[in-house]
């Protein structure tokens, strides 16, 4: 398999990447899968109804109301904005739930402070777009075992993703799964389906 890793990389486990979001957690990050571009995201910032969030992911009952917005930097961009805002919604059942949810657009990599396209460019071999230590940390994460991710993808609703699980196999690293999914240009879609299957589990 066309790996993104050096051949002598050891397969380690990474519990913090594989940990689901705690069931009782009062909020967190929701991925807006339809906000695929900065333009669509900016439209949602101007009109939060376009963020497409209707139901609280904690209590599954409350509606979500616009609550706040936060600055979100994303780094390493060339010729484009290096920041945006993210919308924060709060559950309408304030007395019994009150969860708050940050709405992350599909193109932003959670915890990586970059767009997925930039992450893909770096993993594809483009140098000097991120600090060397950052790139090393990313590649170390990609060297970890992907058994949890593969097990999730086996449960995916479409053959597109169950086939990725079959191609990667249970012994795959995260890098192998990315290769089985079609390479670094598929990072955002892969991260989104994994988040959809088990919120909290991270591609990298
Ligand atoms: Zn709620």
Mean pLDDT of 83-104: 94
Lowest mean pLDDT among 77-81, 94-98, 175-179, 180-184: 77-81
CA of 25 to the centre of ligand 1 (A): 10
21/153: higher pLDDT: 153
Q: Is the pLDDT of residue 70 over 80?
A: yes
- pLDDT at residue 71, rounded to an integer: 93
Check whether 23 has a pLDDT greater than 60.
Answer: yes
Domains of the chain, by residue range, sit at 27-106, 114-197
Indicate if the pLDDT at residue 188 is higher than 60: yes
The SS3 call for residue 140 is helix
For ligand 1, the distance from its centroid to the CA atom of residue 59, given in whole angstroms, is: 4
The pLDDT of residue 5 is 58
Cβ partners under 8 Å of residue 155, min gap 6: 162, 197
pLDDT tens readout for residues 41-56: 999 999 999 998 889 9
Q: What share of the chain is helix, strand, coil (3-state, %, to 5)?
A: 35, 20, 45
Write the pLDDT tens digit of every residue in 106-145: 999 988 989 999 999 999 998 888 999 999 999 999 999 9
Mean pLDDT for 75-79 is: 81
> For residue 37, what are the contacts with CB-CB under 8 A and spacing of at least 6?
107
What is the pLDDT, as a whole number, of residue 167? 98
pLDDT beyond 80 at 79: no
Report which of 13, 16, 203, 15 is spatially closest to residue 110, judged by C-alpha positions.
Answer: 203
Based on the number of CB atoms within 10 Å of its own CB, is 114 exposed (0-12), middle (13-18) or buried (19 or more)?
Answer: buried
Question: Per-residue confidence at 8, pLDDT binned at 50, 70, 90?
Answer: low
pLDDT at 112: 92
Q: Mean pLDDT across the chain, nearest whole number? A: 91
User: How many Cβ atoms from other residues are within 10 Å of residue 36's Cβ?
Assistant: 15
The average pLDDT across 66-78 equals 89
Residue 74: the pLDDT is 86
110: number of CA atoms within 13 Å, CB side? 25
| 97 Cα to the center of ligand 1, angstroms | 5
Structure tokens that stand for 14 in this block: 């990474």
Would you state the pLDDT for residue 174?
98
The DSSP-derived string for 76-112 is: --SSS-SEEEEEEEEES-TTTT--EEEEEETTEETTT
Residue 29 CA, ligand 1 centroid: distance in Å = 14
Write down the pLDDT at residue 10: 62
What CA–CA distance (Å, rounded) separates 17 from 128? 26
Band of pLDDT at residue 6, cut at 50, 70 and 90: low
Cα(93) to centroid of ligand 1, in Å?
Answer: 6
Helix (H, G, I), strand (E, B) or coil at 130: coil
How far is C-alpha 34 from the chain's CA centre?
13
**For the residues of 44-64, what is the DSSP string, one character each?**
HHH-GGGG---B-TTTSSSBE
Question: DSSP secondary-structure letter at 186?
Answer: G
For residue 147, report the distance from its CA to the centre of ligand 1, in Å. 31
């Amino acid at each position: 398999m066309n790996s993104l890793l050096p051949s002598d990389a050891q397969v380690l486990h990474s519990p913090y990447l594989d940990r689901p979001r705690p069931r009782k957690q009062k909020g967190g990050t929701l991925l807006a899968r339809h906000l695929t571009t900065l333009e669509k995201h900016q439209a949602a910032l101007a009109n939060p109804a376009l963020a497409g969030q209707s139901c609280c992911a904690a209590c599954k009952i409350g509606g979500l109301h616009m609550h706040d917005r936060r600055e979100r930097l994303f780094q390493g961009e060339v010729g484009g904005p290096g920041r945006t805002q993210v919308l924060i919604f709060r559950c309408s059942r304030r007395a019994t739930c009150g969860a708050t949810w940050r709405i992350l657009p599909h193109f932003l990599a959670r915890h990586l402070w970059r767009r997925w396209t930039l992450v893909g460019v770096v993993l594809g071999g483009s140098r000097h777009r991120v600090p060397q230590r950052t790139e090393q940390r990313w590649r170390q994460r990609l060297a970890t075992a992907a058994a949890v991710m593969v097990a999730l993808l086996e449960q995916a609703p479409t053959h597109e993703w169950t086939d990725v699980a079959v191609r990667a196999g249970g012994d795959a690293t995260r890098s192998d799964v990315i290769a089985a999914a079609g390479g670094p240009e598929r990072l955002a879609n892969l991260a989104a389906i994994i988040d959809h299957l088990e919120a909290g589990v991270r591609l990298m």
